[in-house]
Amino acid sequence: MISKYFNPYTDFGFKKLFGEEASKDLLIDFLNLLLPPQHQIAELSFKNPEALSDTVEERKSIFDIYCQSGSGERFIVEMQKAKMQFFKDRSLFYSTFPIREQSQKGVWDFHLLPVYFIAILDFKYDEQEEERKFRRDVCLKDQDGDVFYHKLHFKFLQMPLFTKQEHELETHFDKWVYFLKHLEDFDHIPAILNEPIFQKGFDIAEVSHLSSDQYDAYLKSILEYNEAKAALDTAFIEGKTEGKIEGKIEGKIEGKIEVAKTMLAEGFEITVIAKITKLPPDEIEKLPQKNR
């Protein structure tokens, strides 16, 4: 069954919650908890990330949200679903986009405004367990640990490592992380999150408030999410190239089947499910009756 609130890890859910004009105050509130006092956001404008990419390949791997504060700071905000190779390299590469954007023609003194790369991760990227940290704030430092350059920052949140329960939440930031991590599991607003900013988040995330087109887009987003999680997680575990390919194929099929089961339980027609999942109608018909 579809949950009362959408999954914020899906592209649709993340952008609906944080990437629209109507929900801009939610993004500002969340980002300000990660930023130092001198870079607090009062106003925010969304920018088109595709305008930064010079090649077709770059456009294929564009980040989720690109925005700018009233005083000029640039922010890249990403929700990453599954583990991938060269994650840190990818993050560094993305951070160069808003840096390059600031270049000026003619005489220019190379003055740059701060850039923040913020990644909310639905996986653990640290290989060694003893090295793992839920939150990691990174900047360029010298051999003595002193900050060498204060205008480029990376902030990584490894969501699986956040284990606080409702009674353990102490700060507004704790509440935000708890909200994002468990949103899809809630069937009502917990008392500790019964505040205006979260009330608005719950209202935006309620699936019943989506239009028919938005609901269809969300279902497709769930399919993409399940495919990415199943395929990439499986492929990452496999050590051989052949195993990776098989894992990706198997993961994609599993993801489509899970979406098909959900849509069957919701009463969707077989033809509609086949159109969205690309599964053969006769295969959808064979799915176990108990999932309907």
Which residue would you say has higher pLDDT here, 246 or 39? 39
Q: What percent of the chain has pLDDT over 90?
A: 45
Give the list of residues 6+ apart from residue 242 with CB closer than 8 angstroms, or none: none
The pLDDT value recorded for residue 221 is 87
- The mean predicted confidence, pLDDT, of the chain is 83
Residue 80 has pLDDT above 60, yes or no: yes
Averaged pLDDT for residues 246-258: 61
The pLDDT value recorded for residue 50 is 65
The pLDDT value recorded for residue 244 is 44
For 260-279, how does the pLDDT look when each residue is reduced to its tens digit (9 = 90+)?
777 777 667 787 777 777 78
Structure tokens that stand for 31 in this block? 């980002």
Which residue would you say has higher pLDDT here, 198 or 227? 198
C-alpha–C-alpha distance, residues 120 and 81, integer Å: 9
The pLDDT value recorded for residue 265 is 74
Give the list of residues 6+ apart from residue 141 with CB closer than 8 angstroms, or none: 147, 148
What is the SS3 assignment for the chain? CCCCECCCCCHHHHHHHHCCHHHHHHHHHHHHCCCCHHHCCCCEEECCHHHHCCCHHHHHCCCCEEEEECCCCEEEEEEECCCCCCHHHHHHHHHHHHHHHCCCCCCCCCCCCCEEEEEEECCCCCCCHHHCCCEEEEEEECCCCCEEEEEEEEEEEEHHHCCCCHHHCCCHHHHHHHHHHHHHHCCCCCHHHCCHHHHHHHHHHEHHHCCHHHHHHHHHHHHHHHHHHHHHHHHHHCCCHHHHHHHHHHHHHHHHHHHHHHHHHCCCCHHHHHHHHCCCHHHHHCCCHHHC
Per-residue confidence at 59, pLDDT binned at 50, 70, 90?
A: very low
- The pTM assigned to this predicted structure is 0.77
Which residue would you say has higher pLDDT here, 88 or 253? 88
Averaged pLDDT for residues 27-50: 90
Per-residue confidence at 201, pLDDT binned at 50, 70, 90?
A: very high
The pLDDT value recorded for residue 290 is 39
Q: What percent of the chain has pLDDT over 70?
A: 81
The pLDDT value recorded for residue 25 is 95
The pLDDT value recorded for residue 246 is 47
